[in-house]
Structure 1
Amino acid sequence: MQSQNIKVMAVDDDDINLEILIKNLKDSGYDTLAYNDGQEAWQHMNDNPESFDIVLLDKMMPKMNGMDLLSKMKEHSLLKNIPVIIQTGDVGVNEVKQGMERGAYYYLCKPFDPTIMVAMVNAASRDCIRRNNIYKHMKDETSIAEMLKKGHFEYKNIAEAKKLASAISSKADKPDRINTALLELMVNSVEHGLLSIGYEEKGKLLAHDNFANEIDKRCKLPQNAEKTVDVFVNADNKAVSVRISDNGKGFNWRKYEDFDPLRLTEPNGRGIATAKLMAEKVEFNESGNEVTCTFNRAIGN
């Protein structure tokens, strides 16, 4: 279970809604913290930045609203990478783009469906674990990235994708954003290209907190054991180009290149749009089994 050892802070000035959130989180195995005041929540965050892993944050609150609290988190060195789920009654494409620029990657529409809420927290939990590993890898792989000018790499699974994305993104002028972009694209190549897990199936697996198990199971199947994703890197003094090719059947990537209002409050389906938002350029080939991500190189790297 991804909920093991994961603590969720829920912040909502509506006591009834807060009680429902906490009950559903506890029923799903999560440890919880609850605050009905944004300022009090911020005080706890600032004093105890490592006491929680995910934040469920109501957008509209008195004293300190959710977006102001999110901005404070992103300015804090120990809080800036914590996944934040924004609760709101008004979810639109422009609002989500603005929120993502400020660091909110999940939106929960009020009144919420408990099943969708738990699925979204499960997805955030998975990303929490993934990002914790990312920053460790980025520190470990920086020396390798400094030597990288041109290369061909292969990876077979998500663990290898994380290491490679971390190494390559450490060359970027905005490594956190580029790491997010590359990892979304690399993981997509494993899920869809190598293992043939589609959008609807992934959503169901996330809802039942069974996605990681399914990935592991399919990677071990004989027909998938030797499959790889190819990554070609070309770097000059100004930019880095990363071409990712999975040799799969491809998919209709055009459906996912922009934020669709119908998918904004679901736990998956935003990876490609997120990558396009984070990187300078993301371009797919016609069939969708190859994508090139281009980003600016850090000065002196």
Structure 2
Amino acid sequence: MQLKNVLPTEKTTVLAVDDNPTSLRLIQLMLQKDEYTVLTAVSGRDALDVLSANADTVDIILLDRLMPEMDGIEFCRRVKADEKFRALPIIMQTAAGRPQEIREGIEAGVFYYLVKPLVSDTLLSIVASAKNKVRKYRQDKNELLQRQESIAMVQSMECAFRTIEEAEMLAAFLAQFFPDPDLALTGISELFLNAVEHGNLAISYESKSELVQANRWKEEVESRLADPRYRDRVVTVVFEKKQNRCTLKIHDEGEGFNWEQYLHVDTARATHNHGRGIAMANMISFDELFYNVRGNQVTAIVHVGR
């Protein structure tokens, strides 16, 4: 099998879409300064053509919400309807104080937002977050595609992991047992990451915001993995496959959290540089997703033949 657009390329390519030439040029300057390759389009229709011609190289799409001919929402719906592009991160620019626009974007499959006017540091932080997400997805998918052997005999298994690297490998392995491995991979990866960083390592939402902004998140994770308070904690995973459903139970040894507010993207958090993983898992990967009362065990279910 020949694989396209699976392994991350050395340089990240952003497709910027805006009908305002000045705004488009400003975005180019901000991103190229940070060593991104930038492709441009002046409308939604133009962007579809550019995306189609560069399907193997575009990593992220950054677009304006309001454009003539085809607005940002319609463009997103068309992109997400294409299996080749449904995992592609889309960052949408929106005006401050318009939560309805964010809600419409979420329904169209957009999980990253920038509030106008653009600020360079914020733009780079959000784009970097999307870049890391797509690179991780492609690395996991490559692991998955390398294990496309027959797995029909497996009905249940129990696993355990401690680090984020182990979580990524296990996510790629377990995704193969679901009806749509691509969709499952996204959700499993997000739930595993949450169990390690927010569960076992007790990194709060606010702390991660600061760490990501300062580019110190990975350093803090490594530090806590070596910390005697956290180093012996593990995440346990139980997978069960029945005739009509696949069930995944993930249990961490943390204190738990108020999970209800993260099942959906809150418009108040939509412009943050993280915090959309559980909502993505709930909205695109699983038919059912729920936590125990404490918040340190999550159950994810996919109905077979949905």
TM over 0.5: yes
Question: CA offsets, 1:30-64, max 9 Å, x none?
Answer: 23223323333332221222233111011221233
Tell me which moved more, 129-138 or 77-86.
77-86
Within-5 A mapping of 1:229-268: 229-268=235-274
Q: How many residues align?
A: 295
Within-5 A mapping of 1:10-49: 10-49=16-55
The corresponding residue for 1:285 is: 292
The corresponding residue for 1:60 is: 66
**Aligned residue among 87, 95, 99 for 2:104:** 95
* Helix, strand or coil at the partner of 2:248: strand
* Cα pair 1:91 1:109 within 8 Å, conserved: no
TM-score (norm 1): 0.87
1:156 to 2:162 alignment: yes
Change beyond 3 A, Cα 1:174–1:186: same
- Cα deviation, residue 149, structure 1: 1.0
Tell me which moved more, 289-298 or 148-157.
289-298
- Cα deviation, residue 4, structure 1: 6.4
- Cα deviation, residue 13, structure 1: 0.9
Change beyond 3 A, Cα 1:29–1:217: farther
2-structure distance, mates of 1:221, 1:188: 18
* Cα pair 1:38 1:63 within 8 Å, conserved: yes
Change beyond 3 A, Cα 1:146–1:114: farther
1-structure distance, mates of 2:226, 2:35: 28
**Aligned residue among 162, 174, 197 for 2:203:** 197
1:83 to 2:83 alignment: no
- Cα deviation, residue 122, structure 1: 1.1
- Cα deviation, residue 144, structure 1: 6.4
Change beyond 3 A, Cα 1:175–1:298: farther
The corresponding residue for 1:296 is: 303
1-structure distance, mates of 2:114, 2:282: 22
2-structure distance, mates of 1:16, 1:241: 50
- Cα deviation, residue 231, structure 1: 0.3
The corresponding residue for 1:173 is: 179
Question: CA offsets, 1:152-180, max 9 Å, x none?
Answer: 10111222222222232323233333222
Question: CA offsets, 1:162-210, max 9 Å, x none?
Answer: 2222232323233333222222111100111122211111112222333
When the two chains are superposed, the root-mean-square deviation of aligned CA atoms in Å is 2.5
Structure 1 gaps of 5+ residues are none
- Between the aligned residues of both structures, percent identity stands at 28
Tell me which moved more, 209-218 or 159-168.
209-218
* Cα pair 2:77 2:108 within 8 Å, conserved: no
Structure 2 gaps of 5+ residues are 1-7
TM-score (norm 2): 0.86
